[in-house]
Amino acid sequence: MRTYTVMDSPVGPLLLVGSPAGLAEIRFTPEGRIPAPEPGWTHDPEAFKDVVAQLRDYFAGERQEFSLTLDPHGTPFQREVWAALQTIPYGVTITYGELARRIGKPNAVRAVGAANGQNPLPIVIPCHRVIGSDGSLTGYGGGLPIKRALLDLERQTTGQLALL
């Protein structure tokens, strides 16, 4: 059974989706429209109080790490990539090539990029911190303006955005 709520954020409304095991998805909304839940989901804002509080703290520049129970669904490879994403420090960016090296698969840059793009928990699993080898912003599920906004927030909070 899935539960959901919608929260306002500086990057537009976010659809938060939970499972009995934890936070399962964060969905951005196209053009700021309130997202529609899937059939059978139950609206339960109370179940997301901690998630909403931590995301608000993040957007206020007061939280750099999340302490939430997560339940992302994906292949073993995707989960490996998502686990590596969680080790990228706040305010730091790395390249897709570096991410592939970190998981011990330096020739799997494209596969790493695809797994990064399938991350069901953006922001909390910080896929926005992965950039192109030339330092450019490349692909983001919420769109490049949101990726830029998240990186700008982290840069403003830390005073710099480092590239590892």
Set out the domains of the chain in order of their start, with CATH numbers. 3-59 (3.30.160), 76-163 (1.10.10.10)
The string of DSSP letters for 120-142 reads SSTTTS-GGGEE-TTS-----TT
Max mean pLDDT range (28-32, 98-102, 157-161): 98-102
Return all residues near 156 (Cβ < 8 A) that are at least 6 apart: 61
CA-to-CA distance for 41 and 39, rounded, in angstroms?
A: 6
Tell how strand 92-95 and strand 3-7 pair up. Answer: unpaired
> Which residues have a catalytic role annotated?
127
Helix or strand holding residue 85 (H, E): helix 76-85
- Indicate whether 163 pLDDT > 70: no
3-state secondary structure of 105: coil
- Indicate whether 158 pLDDT > 80: no
pLDDT tens digits along 83-120 = 999 999 999 999 999 999 999 999 999 999 999 999 99
3-state secondary structure of 65: coil
Strands (E), 20-104: 22-28, 42-43, 92-95
Tell how strand 22-28 and strand 92-95 pair up. Answer: unpaired
CA-to-CA distance for 144 and 21, rounded, in angstroms?
A: 31
Count other Cβ atoms within 10 Å, centred on residue 75.
10
Selection from 99, 96, 98 nearest residue 131 by Cα: 96
Q: What pTM does this model have?
A: 0.92
